[in-house]
Amino acid sequence: MSVAAILEFKGSTVFTIRPDHTIADAAALLTTKRVGVVVVSDPATHLLGVLSERDIVHSLSQYGKAALDMPVSNVMTSPVVTCTPADSAKAVLQVMTERRIRHLPVVTDGRLLGIVSIGDAVGHRLRETQLEVGVLRDFAVAR
Mean pLDDT throughout 4-19?
Answer: 92
Which pLDDT tens digit goes with each residue over 32-59? 999 999 999 987 678 999 999 999 999 9
- Grade residue 132 by pLDDT with cuts at 50, 70 and 90: low
**How many Å apart are CA 48 and CA 77, to the nearest integer?**
9
Number of domains present in the structure of the chain: 1
Q: Which domain holds residue 111?
A: 3-142
Q: What is the pLDDT of residue 76?
A: 96
Q: What is the pLDDT of residue 122?
A: 83
Residue 134 has pLDDT above 80, yes or no: no
Which pLDDT tens digit goes with each residue over 79-119? 999 999 999 988 999 999 999 999 999 999 888 999 999 88
Domain harbouring 124, CATH code: 3.10.580.10
Burial (CB count within 10 angstroms: exposed 0-12, middle 13-18, buried 19+), residue 120: buried
